[in-house]
Structure 1
Amino acid sequence: MRGGSVAVVGGSIAGSAFAGAAARLGAERVVVLERSPGHLEDRGVGLCTHNDRFDELVRAGHLDADTRRHRLAVRRWVTRGAAGEGDGPDGCGRLLWAQPFPFHSHHWGVLWQALRERMPERVEFRLGATVTAVGNTRGNDDGPAGGDAPARAWVEAGSGREEYDLVIGSDGYRSVVRAAVCPQAEPAYAGYVCWRGSYDAALLAELPGGAAAWPEEHCITACYPGGQVVIYRIPGVEPGRTQVNWVFYAPTPAWLRLDGPTSIPAGSLSDARLDELRQLAERHLPPYWAGLVTLTPRERTFLQPIYDLAAPRRTAGRLLIGGDAATVVRPHNTSGAVKAMQDAHAFELAGREARSWPELLAAYDRERTAAGRELVELGRTLGRAQVTGAPDWSGMDEPAMTAWWRQQLAGSGGFGGHALDRTG
């Protein structure tokens, strides 16, 4: 499938991956419409990719082998020591399990920049372009015949209405494009939140034991009744520097009002709400990890409610959705960025084999709708096992943790994302 024009709504990781795929397929015109007027590389959220999934994406041409990342090898599950037991001389808590963890960690902005650098120069990237509506035009979807005009899709943005052969929605969990593809699909609140933060790893010197208490290749999961915090290092924006990144799963704060999918952005939390986070950390986490969380500057701290979404379909006419616009998967899966790039890969594969737009869209829908549902279900399973229905951590040891983990993943094969070739 070659030629035609493609608009990509949303220019983040998913949007950049789809735009690159459309350009490689030979689209004559590719336009990315990103509502943010600023630099997306400033986003400091951390994420991880399984070593095998990263290598697959490199071989498939979506990433460069030298994409800057941080190597992780071990996930240490810890909890506070019982009364009289203590948290060890370093204050890092009682070790439950040292789990092999073959992952790379990334800075969101660094990974996004790597995708942007691979994008052909002819892709038009418009910042500050807020899309307010999309839709399909009437027409013959097999192309001009008997005088009929071909089917197309349209986008309404600040510059007016434009028509394209295909409109791809990669505009996140509040997607305008998803509302047109399947308006009944809305993110469902999972019943808990994650506080998030990141900062330069040099600040660890302020903690007792400094950075030496935490080996660089270790991902930490500190568990408590009703939640956990996951902590790992990520590359800094500047080469040669690293950052601390943490995700703190916790019950819904009493003050949080959810009138629809939302988050509390970095820098906007009040002193009282930051103090609530500090108290949460000091009450539930081993001292070293509580101190690590409370070192985070206000401007690097935010709150993100947890949602689930699996769109029942991904296409309608000449509209297509991918990334978080199509599936919102809980972060426990460690698969968000992989999922987005695999969506783009499936689109590209379908385009190579299809002889028409309808054929491409049907093939993509078949493949990725099913995969998305599986990832969402795994996220729910992990959320129940690790947060809302977690075991009594005080009674867990390595054999119990190993059996508990295997039970969560039974039959899924999706932790860290499915293999790119699911038939292999």
Structure 2
Amino acid sequence: MGFEVDVYERTPGELDGRGGGIVLQPEVLRWFKERSELTPGQISTHSRVMRVIGDGNSVEFEEEVEWRFTSWGTLYRALLSDFGRENYHLGHTFVGLDQSSDSVSVRFANGRSADADLAIFADGITSVGRKRLLPDHQLDYVGYIGWRGTVPETQLSSETRAVLGDSLTYSFADQTHICMYPIPGPGDAVEVGGRLLNYVWYRNIPGTTELDEIMTDTFGFRGEVSVHPGKVQERYVEEMKDAASTLAPAATELVRSTAQPYIQPIMDFRPPRMVFGRAVTIGDSAFVARPHAAAGTAKAAAEAWALADALLAAKGDIDGALRAWEPRQLEVGNALLDRIKIMGRAAQIDNTWTPHDRRLRFGLLEGALQPAY
């Protein structure tokens, strides 16, 4: 028994040119081990150690641990290749839905509609599905932003490449920290020399007035969840690069070498539920979790695996499957948000983050073992 699945994408063209880094947790790697024609090694880079660096690039902490990293675009292209394009429909922006006891009808801005037994909203942080299903609930800004960027590793000094090229690397300063790791480069290159060095640098902006100003792009539009590369006001880019001197030298060079850094305000969101009759939300359309645990993609994958298992076990009883599926997803999502609040406060407010504290490590579940590749 299987499922007939159609994917409706709101953008008019395939999503390309998105190079932000993603940590490949076991929940995502499972697809490439069990179902895909591609292997993890074809779509990802890897680290040898976790490293914390300080003044003069001194190594303050180092532990052998392997992680795999990919980019948003590389993962998208891999999954689309596996799914195929026959049932992948571009240019369909969701605008509304109607439900009965055993079906759902979804309407799109282009005038078309689709009928199904179940509608799954997996449309990200800006989910229009969430806004339709939970109109009175808003994302919570947590008081800091993430500056993001990528730099071809060949544009960096040999010292910086040596420090950052084989590791998941952190640098800390007063109420701020940066996380860095290698990801696939142009053409999805994963070999040394063709990769990008990716980072997220968290900086506190507690006031909403200053946030509104920095989130207004060069065309005067206020971004809801990002200001895209090339559209950040130059004065903020210059200030950010000047402030990078507070970080370890390798991190400073990486930040200052970024041609077009971009901004994401860091948000939290806890949904009261994920099942709405014959419509459900998963991934960032449901819980929105700060990136500290690198668990957003893993959470979406885990929810999708669990939903498939529940539907198969229910043997046609979709409502029963959803009742069985939802409680565990709410439990995991709430636990993740509780833990990332601790992580964010330790790194951005209290300066108490320590690499020895397993609660502060990557992973969807607290205390999860490092993935086996």
Q: 1:130 aligns with which of 85, 88, 93?
A: 93
**Superposed CA offset, 1:108-150 (max 9, x none):** 111111111111554x2222322223x332x343xxxxxxxxx
Does structure 1 residue 74 correspond to structure 2 residue 49? Answer: yes
Structure 1 unaligned spans of 5+? 3-24, 81-86, 142-150, 394-400, 420-424
Does structure 1 residue 176 correspond to structure 2 residue 128? Answer: yes
- Residue of structure 1 equivalent to 2:8: 33
- Residue of structure 2 equivalent to 1:387: 348
Give how far 1:418 is off. 11
**CA gap 1:173/1:362 in 2 versus in 1, 3 angstroms:** same
Does structure 1 residue 285 correspond to structure 2 residue 247? Answer: yes
- Distance, in Å, in 2 between the alignment partners of 1:376 and 1:60 is 29
Equivalence map 1:318-333=2 (5 Å): 318-333=278-293
Structure 2 unaligned spans of 5+? 216-221
- Equivalences, count: 355
Q: Which amino acid aligns with 1:377?
A: D
Give how far 1:170 is off. 0.7
**Superposed CA offset, 1:317-348 (max 9, x none):** 11111110011111110112211111211111
**CA gap 1:357/1:417 in 2 versus in 1, 3 angstroms:** farther
Give how far 1:303 is off. 0.3
**CA gap 1:33/1:342 in 2 versus in 1, 3 angstroms:** same
Give how far 1:55 is off. 4.8
**Superposed CA offset, 1:138-176 (max 9, x none):** x343xxxxxxxxx42322332344332221111111212
TM-score calculated relative to the size of structure 2: 0.86
- Verify the 8 A CA contact 2:271 2:286 in the aligned structure 1: yes
- Distance, in Å, in 1 between the alignment partners of 2:302 and 2:370 is 9
- Distance, in Å, in 1 between the alignment partners of 2:359 and 2:92 is 46
**CA gap 1:181/1:62 in 2 versus in 1, 3 angstroms:** farther
- Residue of structure 2 equivalent to 1:376: 337
- Residue of structure 2 equivalent to 1:21: none
- Distance, in Å, in 2 between the alignment partners of 1:373 and 1:418 is 22
**CA gap 1:153/1:356 in 2 versus in 1, 3 angstroms:** farther
**CA gap 1:279/1:402 in 2 versus in 1, 3 angstroms:** closer
- Distance, in Å, in 2 between the alignment partners of 1:417 and 1:109 is 27
Look up the SS of the partner of 1:168 in the other structure. Answer: strand
Give how far 1:261 is off. 4.2
- Distance, in Å, in 1 between the alignment partners of 2:50 and 2:269 is 28
**CA gap 1:286/1:216 in 2 versus in 1, 3 angstroms:** closer
RMSD: 2.8
- Residue of structure 2 equivalent to 1:108: 72
Does structure 1 residue 154 correspond to structure 2 residue 106? Answer: yes
**CA gap 1:416/1:73 in 2 versus in 1, 3 angstroms:** farther
Give how far 1:34 is off. 1.5
Identity %: 25
- Distance, in Å, in 1 between the alignment partners of 2:282 and 2:200 is 24
Q: Which amino acid aligns with 1:251?
A: N
**CA gap 1:242/1:289 in 2 versus in 1, 3 angstroms:** same
- Verify the 8 A CA contact 1:196 1:303 in the aligned structure 2: yes
**Superposed CA offset, 1:57-101 (max 9, x none):** 444536843442111121211233xxxxxx2xxxx2x33211333
- Distance, in Å, in 2 between the alignment partners of 1:377 and 1:62 is 33
Q: Which amino acid aligns with 2:66?
A: P
